[in-house]
Structure 1
Amino acid sequence: MQLVSTLFRQLVLVLPFIALWVSACARAESHLEVVVEGLNQPWGVAFLDKDRILISEKSGNLRLWQGGTLSPPLSGMPDVDARGQGGLLDLAYRDGWVYFSYAEPGPSVGRNSTAVARGRLEGNSLVDVAVIFRQLPRYPSRGHFGSRLAFSPQGHLFITLGDRQTARDDAQTLDNHHGKVIRIWPDGSIPEDNPYAASQGGKALPEIWSYGHRNVQGAAIHPDTGELWTHEHGPRGGDEVNITRAGVNYGWPVITYGEEYRGGKIGVGTHKAGMAQPLHYWVPSIAPSGMAFSTSGRYPQWQGDVFVGSLKFQQLVRLDVENGKIVGEERLFEESLGQRVRDVVQGPDGLLYILTDDSRGRLLRVQP
């Protein structure tokens, strides 16, 4: 009996180390492979097909990678306001059209807003470029532009936006685009089933899908439900993941799990009737950017999970998803990235790709 007791105590002591070893082995199964390097503060990435990749750079450059070569900046792009958090932002590709969001300079000095345009790729140029959405009103700020682009299974284009930093109270009113998620058709027209499409002269803008957001920089469509998942930056703490549904108020700046950067409460606290709770939140902040579901089966242990980049901690965050809920979290590549993660996407090959935000930015492939 004494021997059994001794063995049990030894096993209890050893088990945590076994768990750590198993965890380390699981993490070691995946490694990073450089696909593209020499990027200058890249922001968004879109696959045209398995051999061609478009990458945006904050300065306003759009680059094409094909055949192992990175092109010079493509011609045909509009001017961008690259000050602060602005610049050329997210990319999407659908039915031969390249969609991109960017900080658009306004006619008045210092005023700008997030715009979305589309064009067609011909050689090393983008042609037939036309703006399909402008965030209004324009505002004199260098921050909180959003923005991510995501297509629904039905072909709607979701555009995520920010509250423009110093106009945060606008996130609670429906007569402007600050702190909103927008839903339009690819040509810029408004779906008839949008939650405010029937306002008929009311103050609510018909292109608004949801409101009460701070600065949404991650968006992905759930592979089974087709619903839009987003994440947004909190202030000091309070980054959120939300299932972003029609007409729902997500609370900012009335409720939040964060606080003012200088310290102090924001709004009324963390809960208020009529305002949605996040699916998941971070305190302290991870500064999330980019979002993708793993759906291909290339990583069986991660099937159906959602991945988020962390600007602050320079890592990839895996959120364990079960039955539409987040039940766990894992931090990946904590020591090996060494650069801020700006975007994460799933490629046509089913593998995950990480885009790092740096003056020596890279596109990395996560090999199983």
Structure 2
Amino acid sequence: MRFHALLFAAALPLGFAACSGNTGGTTAAATDGQAAPAPAPSSGPTPAAGRPFQTAVIADLDTPWAMDFLPDGRVLVTEKDGRLRLIRPLAGNGSAVMQTMVDGVPSVDSAGQGGLMDVVLHPQFAQNRLVYFSYSEARDGGKNVVLARAELQEPSSGAPRLANVQTLLRGDPVDGNGHYSGRIAFAPDGHLFFTAGDRQKFDPAQDKSLLLGKVLRLTETGQPAPGNPLAEQGFRPEVWSYGHRNLLGIAFDPAGNLWQQEMGPRHGDELNLILPGRNYGWPNVSNGDHYDGRNIPDHAAGDGYEAPKVFWNPAISPAGLMVYSGDMFPAWRNSAFIGGMNTPGLIRVQLNGTDAQKADQWDMDGQRIRDVAQGPDGAVWVLEDGTDGSQGRLLRLTPAAR
């Protein structure tokens, strides 16, 4: 529900969060499914010199991967090893959160880059309670990415759970534990977009018969969307665009343009405007090179491939993508925010229609940023990947005090 965040009637209360800094240890969560208060770090948000925002620590989690917001302001957060947490920030004491483990998550294969990955609410979640999520599994002698959905049930007693889990799509099973991708976005017209990485297999990103290295356009039930542009050329009917590597962020801007970021090889990370039927070139072209030093031809005019709108060399190792549309940071409207797994940590790119330009980069105290999202009140939320005594903090960014 990231695209629909500002439609929420309920907003998160201000002033509930604790200071940034190493909290040392995990946030408490009840093992019996009942919500438990987290230990409080110290007092209010902490500003950082040279950054236009102050940072508040909401929780310290265990290898978090992605998040989305419920209409009442609670946050669903996935963790790599297969846990799904439901977190409620509390107003009044300036420090505590309540969190609960969600039952019913399918078994995941968390080796390497695998695990429980993205989570996105259906645009009509308030009516149908549907949650979409992705994960990796071992199956048919290989491993693959899975797109699934379930109903989030919250009984009056006991833990919340994912009920009536449905597998909507399985990627091609291959060996290895890398480049699953698995990012989810709903289009304004209700279609479902899903990213399937190249699984570090290179050439299949250009293979018409495989889903590897592709952006897929589906119905909300996981079927190939009618009118997909490449089916008549012999591609799998789900395919919207191809020639991608490891697609770890996908989002629509307010005008309905689809943006996607992906990790390049050795450098050459990309922000792409995704257009129907286009070939984005991997592994034939890239603004990076192979890890062993072998050259890959750069994108060039007239080469037949769609070039990125922005690329990074040296790499930022992008993870997560959000297009900002809120009121809390009005100067950032129509900006793409990308988490960086290398310093600088948080990257802002200004979008101008179908063009993009690098804007700001902020070091997040040396932390790798795994995901970034806009909260219902317009705050910017980030998930750390977890280093230096923290297993991966959930942070809320608000304007720096003047």
Q: TM-score, normalised by structure 2?
A: 0.79
Residue 293 of structure 2, aligned match among 246, 249, 263: 263
Tell me if 1:30 matches 2:53.
Answer: yes
Letter in 1 for 2:132: Y
Segments of 4+ moved more than 6 angstroms: none
* Pairwise CA RMSD: 1.8
Q: In structure 2, do the counterparts of structure 1 residues 315 and 25 end up closer, same or farther at CA, with 3 Å as the change threshold?
A: closer
- Report what 1:16 is aligned to: none
By percentage of residues, which structure has more helix? 1
- CA positional deviation for 1:300: 1.8
How many pairs align? 333
Q: Output aligned runs, 1:129-208, within 5 Å.
A: 129-136=165-172, 138-165=173-200, 167-197=201-231, 199=232, 203-208=234-239
The structure with the larger Rg is 1
SS of residue in 2 equivalent to 1:301? helix
- Report what 1:350 is aligned to: 378
Q: In structure 2, do the counterparts of structure 1 residues 98 and 314 end up closer, same or farther at CA, with 3 Å as the change threshold?
A: farther
Q: Output aligned runs, 1:239-318, within 5 Å.
A: 239-266=269-296, 268-271=297-300, 273-313=303-343, 315-318=345-348
Q: Output aligned runs, 1:13-162, within 5 Å.
A: 27-35=50-58, 37-66=59-88, 68=90, 69-94=97-122, 95=124, 96-108=129-141, 111-123=142-154, 124-136=160-172, 138-162=173-197
Note if contact 2:370-2:383 (Cα within 8 Å) is conserved in structure 1.
yes
Note if contact 1:79-1:105 (Cα within 8 Å) is conserved in structure 2.
no
Q: In structure 2, do the counterparts of structure 1 residues 28 and 269 end up closer, same or farther at CA, with 3 Å as the change threshold?
A: closer
Note if contact 2:375-2:381 (Cα within 8 Å) is conserved in structure 1.
yes
Aligned residues: percent identity? 39
Q: Distance in 2 between matches of 1:256 and 1:275?
A: 10
Structure 1 gaps, min length 5: 1-23
Residue 340 of structure 1, aligned match among 353, 356, 368: 368
- CA positional deviation for 1:28: 4.0
Q: Distance in 2 between matches of 1:45 and 1:209?
A: 25
Note if contact 1:279-1:325 (Cα within 8 Å) is conserved in structure 2.
yes
Structure 1 residues 52-94: Cα deviation after superposition (integer angstroms, max 9, x where no partner): 1100000011111125445443211111110000000011001
Q: Distance in 1 between matches of 2:48 and 2:290?
A: 40
Residue 230 of structure 1, aligned match among 253, 260, 266: 260
Q: Distance in 1 between matches of 2:341 and 2:153?
A: 33
Q: Distance in 2 between matches of 1:344 and 1:104?
A: 25
More displaced stretch, 306-315 vs 319-328: 319-328
Structure 2 gaps, min length 5: 1-46, 91-96, 155-159
- CA positional deviation for 1:117: 0.3
Q: Distance in 1 between matches of 2:283 and 2:112?
A: 22
- CA positional deviation for 1:321: 2.3
